[in-house]
Amino acid sequence: MADTSKRRVLVVDDEPGIREILTVYLTEEGYDVSTAEHGFDALLQLRRATPDVIISDLNMPHMSGFEFLSVVRRRFPEIPVVAVSGAYESGDQVPGGVIADAFYSKGQHHPEELLHTVAELIQTSAEHAVNHHRQPAPVWIPRNGKDSKGVPFIVLTCTECLRSFPLSVLREDVQEIQETPCIYCATPVRYVIDFSLAVASPKIHLRAEVSGSRAEAATY
C-alpha cells in the first residue's frame, strides 16, 4: 500500500543545482519533493496539489520570490514557507515585508538546519495557519517604470474591491510595507515595491559542500 503519510515539499528555485541538491536532501529525509523553476511555475503546480511546506528562493526571474511568497500567503495561508536566498547572510538582513515563516541562507551550508526547520514547520503548521489568517499579506508590486511626466509609478490592486489604480511613487527603494487607501473604496492597501530585481543573487555551489552518497546522487 502506498505511504499516504508522506509529507510533500515544493522547492522553488531558478538554479537547477539548488533544486537538485535540495531534492536529494529532502528525499533522503523521506519527503515527497516537487520542484518549480519560478513563481508562475510553482503557482501552476499549487493548483494541482498543495504541499505541506514551500521552500522558495527570493531572487528569481519572471516573478520574484518576494512576490510569489506574498501570493502564496494570500491564496494558501495554511502552507508554511521557508525563504531561501544567496543574497542575505541571515534572516535579520532580509527586507521587511518578506512573507516567510523561516529563512535559510544559501551561504550557510548546513542543510541539517533546513531539514530541521521543515520538520518543525510541519509540526507547528496549525499554529502558523491561524497567524497567517490573522494578518493579511501585503501585495508585492513590480516596478512599472515612469509615467509621461517621468514620475515613477506602480499599479496597485485593491485587495477588497479588486480594482486597480496607478500610484506615483516618490521613492522606489523603500524596502518595507507601505499603506495607501484604495481610491475607490478607501480600504487600506498594504504593499511593498519589488526592488528584488536590483538584488544580485550570487551563484553558490552547494554541491561542493556535500560528501558521500549525497554528492553522487546530486550529480545526476
Interface with Zn ion (CB under 5 A): 158, 160-161, 182, 184-185, 187
Residue 60 CB contacts under 8 Å (≥ 6 apart), including other chains: 12, 13, 14, 37, 38, 39, 68
CB–CB of 55/118 below 8 Å? yes
Of the pair 60, 158, the CB lying nearest Zn ion is at 158
Of the pair 188, 202, the CB lying nearest Zn ion is at 188
In terms of phi and psi (left: phi > 0; alpha: psi -120 to 50; beta: otherwise), the region of 183 is alpha
Of the pair 130, 185, the CB lying nearest Zn ion is at 185
CB of 186 to Zn ion, least distance (A): 7
CB of 214 to Zn ion, least distance (A): 50
CA angle 124/84/145 to nearest 5° reads: 120
Alpha carbon distance 82, 51 (integer Å):
13
Residue 72: name the closest of 140, 164, 158 by CA.
Answer: 140
Residue 51: name the closest of 24, 37, 32, 36 by CA.
Answer: 32
Of the pair 102, 158, the CB lying nearest Zn ion is at 158
CB of 165 to Zn ion, least distance (A): 8
Cell reading at 62: 519572471
Alpha carbon distance 34, 178 (integer Å):
34
CB of 169 to Zn ion, least distance (A): 19
CB of 138 to Zn ion, least distance (A): 15
CB of 183 to Zn ion, least distance (A): 8
Of the pair 22, 182, the CB lying nearest Zn ion is at 182
Of the pair 3, 179, the CB lying nearest Zn ion is at 179
Strands (E), 45-198: 53-57, 81-85, 102-105, 139-142, 153-157, 164-168, 178-181, 188-194
